[in-house]
Amino acid sequence: MSDTDSDWQHIARTQPYYGVLRDPAFRESQLSDDQRALFFDSGQSHVNMVLDQCTRLFGDNGFTGNALDFGCGVGRLTLPLSRHFTQVVGLDVAPAMLSEAQRYANLLGAQNVRWLLADDALSAIDQMHFDFMLSFIVFQHIPEARGQRILKKLLQRLAPGGIGVFHFKYAQVNPGNRFYTFLSHQLPGGRFLVNFLRGKPLREPHMQMNAYNLNSLMQTIQSEGIHEIHVRLGDHGGHWGVEMYVRRDAETL
């Protein structure tokens, strides 16, 4: 199996916007200021939807305090969150993503955001707790066992009464996708074969699309003292996913 961190860092250095949203309009060779604005507008729309859902599910909590965007990339969701929360942290494994996020935040004058480098221990936020957490189209790129451990650590940083919104892929229903996933994940050298079959450069990095077991996710969430959860289902081109809206009880950790 390939090194997903190494693949992501290569994508961050070469195609940071396209790596977040796989739309040809966001490739570096075609990226204009207008297209970059559309990219971040899509993040604002998503954050608006998520916060509206949170209000519907949990009531109006004002959305103040500290927020975390796990797997922030170039800040597509982080910067919209900074317009709602007092302080926001964007956490990502790729320094090049964080550098571009900081550059764009400076252009916008967003001064209440910190960009921190992620590791599996989440050591950069070890002493922090957050009132709100968001992670969208991120965990699918992390192998499940590793992602479950990271989720557990994230939940330990969720403050009393805090809300977390986490997205996971849980099934792959497109037969072609299943075939390519088997080749790239299980067959030695399979990722080169997949690139050949798709007409791509042989050494182009892959973004894994890992499915998570819903029962295991529920166990991880409940084991960390979360007793309230709501779900929304989605379909990204045959990759079936779930957004989990969770809230920690208000008692002290």
Domains of the chain: 4-248 (3.40.50.150)
Q: Could you identify the residue written with the tokens 């042989």?
A: 202
Q: Running along the chain, 253 residues long, what does each successive block of 10 average in pLDDT?
A: 68 78 72 84 95 94 89 96 97 94 94 97 96 96 95 97 97 70 62 61 69 97 96 91 96 60
Q: Is the pTM of this model over 0.75?
A: yes
CA 133 – CA 124 distance, rounded (Å): 15
What phi and psi values does residue 139 have, to the nearest 5 degrees?
-60, -30
> Could you give the CA distance from residue 68 to residue 91 in angstroms, rounded to a whole number?
7
Distances (CA, A) of 108 to 32, 37, 97, 111, 123: 17, 11, 17, 9, 28
> Token digits for 165?
């919104």
Coil vs helix vs strand at 23 = coil
Which residue type sits at 225?
Answer: G
CA distances from 166 to 8, 22, 68, 151 (A): 20, 20, 11, 9
